[in-house]
Structure 1
């Protein structure tokens, strides 16, 4: 994974908002599970929800447990957040250079 540019490293105390794993919905067939994350604002009021379907098939080194499914969903969420961070940083650079 690429190193995080110094200007993208978060500052302590920047926000009191959070994203939490909130639930798992699994069909009875055992094909996987939909993992839900809820986003909260500074006052911890719910502002949105995001979910990821995670296949039941265990990856190398996994035991195929529920914890493994939840861990993979957290990785999916982290990947989405990295993509969003990259996108907004590209847009910031465009505005700074006047080419937006």
Structure 2
């Protein structure tokens, strides 16, 4: 597993904002299931939705819980990528090495 720099180590209490799954749509014509994640700000106001699309066939193979877990795994991958890119830009503009 990769080493996480000290300034990126997760900790409680940094912010009251959140990301949470709140809705699922079955798109029969497209053979997909769309999971919606809500991003909320410090005041718990929704500021954005982010959809994750998964093949409907996964629902048949692993069941509902497996599909929800896969949607969360995909969201985790997105969040990790965003954090990496954001930290790269942060480092480019700061004196941090």
**TM-score category of the 2 structures, normalised to the smaller one:** 0.7 to 0.9
> Is 1:5–2:5 an aligned residue pair?
yes
Matches of 2:11 and 2:63, distance apart in 1 = 35
C-alpha deviation, 1:44, in angstroms = 0.6
The question of whether the paired residues in 2 share the 8 Å contact of 1:52 and 1:76 is answered with: yes
Contiguous gaps of at least 5 residues in structure 2: none
Q: How does 1:1-100 map to 2 (within 5 A)?
A: 1-28=1-28, 31-58=31-58, 64-97=62-95
Name the one with the larger helix percent. 2
Matches of 1:45 and 1:68, distance apart in 2 = 29
C-alpha deviation, 1:13, in angstroms = 1.1
CA RMSD in angstroms comes to: 2.2
Per-residue CA shift, 1:22-49, capped at 9, x if unaligned? Answer: 1110134693310110111111111000
Matches of 1:35 and 1:72, distance apart in 2 = 10
- Give the aligned length: 95
Per-residue CA shift, 1:27-86, capped at 9, x if unaligned? Answer: 34693310110111111111000001111344xxxx511111111111111111111110
The question of whether the paired residues in 2 share the 8 Å contact of 1:56 and 1:69 is answered with: no
SS at match of 2:20: strand
SS at match of 2:62: coil
Q: Judging changes above 3 Å, is the alpha-carbon distance between structure 1 residues 67 and 94 closer, same or farther for their aligned structure 2 residues? A: same
